[in-house]
Structure 1
Amino acid sequence: MIDVVLATRNEDKIREIEHTFKVEGVVLHRLSEFGDIGEINEDGNSFYENALKKAQIVFEATKMPAIADDSGLEVDVLGGKPGIFSSRYAGRNASYADNIHKLIQEVKHYPVSQRKAVFKCVALFYHPDLTLHEEGIVEGLILTNQLGKGGFGYDPVFFLPELGKTFAELSLEEKCEYSHRGIAFRRLSEALKQNLDKIS
Structure 2
Amino acid sequence: MSRNLLIATRNNKKKLELLEILKDLDFNLLSLNDIPPVPDVEEDGLTFSENAVKKAVLTAKASNILTLADDSGLVVNALDGAPGVFSARFAGPQADDEQNNQKLLQALQNIADHERTARFVCVIALADPAGTVQTVSGSCTGMIAKTRQGEAGFGYDPLFVPDGFDKSFAELDPSVKNKISHRGQALLKIKPILEEILAMEAKT
Normalised-by-shorter TM-score class: over 0.9
TM superposition shift of 1:132: 1.9
- Structure 2 CA distance, aligned partners of 1:136 and 1:31? 23
1:44-55 alignment, distance < 5 Å: 44-55=45-56
Question: Does the CA-based 8 Å contact 1:72-1:83 persist in structure 2?
Answer: yes
1:92-171 aligned at under 5 Å gives the runs 92-127=93-128, 128=130, 130-171=132-173
Distance in 2 (CA, whole Å) between partners of 1:87 and 1:158 is 15
Equivalent AA in structure 1 for residue 98 of structure 2: A
Q: How many residues are treated as equivalent by the alignment?
A: 200
Residue aligned with 1:189, SS: helix
Question: CA separation in 2, counterparts of 1:80 and 1:129?
Answer: 31
Alignment partner, residue 59 of structure 2: 58
Cα distance in 2 for partners of 1:85, 1:10 equals 17
**Distance verdict in 2 for CA 1:55–1:104, change over 3 Å:** same
Q: Aligned ranges for residues 4-19 of structure 1 at < 5 Å?
A: 4-19=5-20
Q: Deviation at 1:38?
A: 3.2
2:91 matches 1:90: yes
SS at match of 1:125: strand
Equivalent of 1:179 in 170, 178, 181: 181
Residue pair 2:143, 2:163 contacting (<8 A) in 1 also: yes
Q: CA RMSD in A?
A: 1.8
- Higher mean Cα deviation, 38-47 or 85-94? 38-47
Tell me the percent identity: 35
Query: TM-score by structure 1 length?
Result: 0.92
Letter of the aligned partner of 1:10 in structure 2? N
1:130: how far off? 3.9
Q: 1:34, CA displacement in angstroms?
A: 1.6
Q: Pick closer, same or farther for the CA change 1:129–1:42 going to 2, 3 Å.
A: closer
The structural deviation recorded for 1:112 is 1.1
For structure 1, which segment, 121-130 or 66-75, has the greater mean C-alpha deviation from structure 2 after superposition? 121-130
In 2: Cα distance, 1:15 partner to 1:3 partner: 16
Aligned to 1:36: 37
Q: Distance between the aligned counterparts of 2:164 and 2:114, measured in 1?
A: 14
1:69 aligned counterpart, secondary structure: strand
Indicate conservation of the 8 Å contact 1:23/1:192, yes or no.
no
Q: Distance in 1 between matches of 2:16 and 2:25?
A: 19
Q: TM-score, normalised by structure 2?
A: 0.91
Unaligned regions of 5+ residues in structure 1, if any?
none
Q: Who is 2:74 aligned against?
A: 73
- Greater relative contact order (CA < 8 Å, ≥ 6 in sequence): 1
* In 1, Cα distance between equivalents of 2:11 and 2:178: 16
Q: CA deviation at 1:198?
A: 6.2
- CA separation in 1, counterparts of 2:199 and 2:192? 13
